[in-house]
Amino acid sequence: MKSASMQRSRFVRSFFSKTVSYGVLIGSFMCARICSTPVAQAGEIGHYNPGVMNIRDFAMPEPGVYGNVYNYWYWTNRLNDKNGNAVSTITVGPGQGVSLGLNVDVNVYAIAPTVIWVSDWKVLGARYGAFIAPSFANSSVGASLSRTTGTGRSVQSSQFDVGDLFVQPLWLGWSQKNWDFAFGYGFYAPVGRYNIETVTLPHLGTVKAEAIDNIGLGFWTHQFQGAATWYAGEHRATAVSAALTYEINEKKKDFDLTPGNVMTLNWGVSHYLPLNKDNKLLLEVGLTGYSAWQITDDAGTDAINPDVHDQVHAVGGQLGLAYVPWNAAVKLHYLHEYYAEDRFLGDVIGASAVIKF
């Protein structure tokens, strides 16, 4: 019979090194960039949302089928300009446009049930896996910013509906004694609710704009992600993780706008503490954060100030509780965005529950 320490080590290595996120919650949570016209939001960034991820969500577990449910909350009352200063008024319309007072009050909730499969197959010496992650939300950060900066409209909430879909058909994981490495390619399909409507604005008349209840972003995104996780000791109780994600965005539906590509860094330090003598119940504590930068200009005739690139930076903490015999865990994290340019500056809470079938 395996010792308690061996059982704990195997569980931490195979299960908690990946609790199935990698890029989920799709376009339901990502921000568009500030612009000065009521048409397409020039400068929308891509679909990937780093606020969803748990610290150990970037390394591949042992073969099996995993299920995870991610919950995400985002709220803010601040919109920053390209210099990182709070915005109190916006200008909409062509030319000098019309100046409107701005009162930001955004609250977003979304959920993403995720299914992941890891096989025994080997590709280039790595295990092969894949997963799919649909999303559902009451609104999206991107849509909220679109209606706030594009037309001056703001709503507290909208109908809960489908967001964009993330599929990762290629996921490779290399595991060594104290290291895990991973590489993946996935794509976001614009299946979420996305419509165009006409809006009447003061002194501007009727213009085309994104619908006030949109959740999807209206464009495809290709995502490439590489990650490394280092573990201190054979039981892998302490982990230091970092991941780089690169998004290539395609043309937005109904507008001549291709959002610029985005690079995101996730980082975190996680440690497991046994809560009983047999190591069956584990407490996780961690420090985590993210930074995202727009790398390339927006393109197309609807892109306003295409050389203005947005960015955001956040830091926070994470707690988790795992029950080893059930191969199950719950995790909770909070992150505060302490600096942003050309986008919202807000706070994030993420909660997830995962199990190996």
Residue 16 confidence (pLDDT): 44
Given the candidates 3.40.605.10, 2.40.160.40, 3.30.1330.60, 3.10.350.10, the CATH classification of the domain at 4-356 is: 2.40.160.40
CA 45 to chain centre: 11
Distance between CA 50 and CA 241 in Å, rounded? 13
Query: What sign for the dihedral angle of Cα 137, 55, 186, 311?
Result: positive
Low-confidence ranges of the chain (pLDDT < 70): 1-43, 90-101, 140-158, 200-205
pTM for the structure as a whole: 0.85
pLDDT digits (tens, 9 = 90+) for 55-95: 999 999 889 999 999 999 999 988 888 899 988 776 665 55
Distance between CA 278 and CA 21 in Å, rounded? 29
Residue 95 confidence (pLDDT): 52
pLDDT digits (tens, 9 = 90+) for 182-218: 999 999 999 999 988 877 666 666 777 777 788 889 9
Distance between CA 94 and CA 100 in Å, rounded? 14
Residue 39 confidence (pLDDT): 36
Residue 149 confidence (pLDDT): 58
Residue 172 confidence (pLDDT): 97
> At which residue do the structure tokens 């891509």 appear?
46
Residue 213 confidence (pLDDT): 80
Distance between CA 18 and CA 16 in Å, rounded? 5
Distance between CA 226 and CA 8 in Å, rounded? 27
Residue 88 confidence (pLDDT): 78
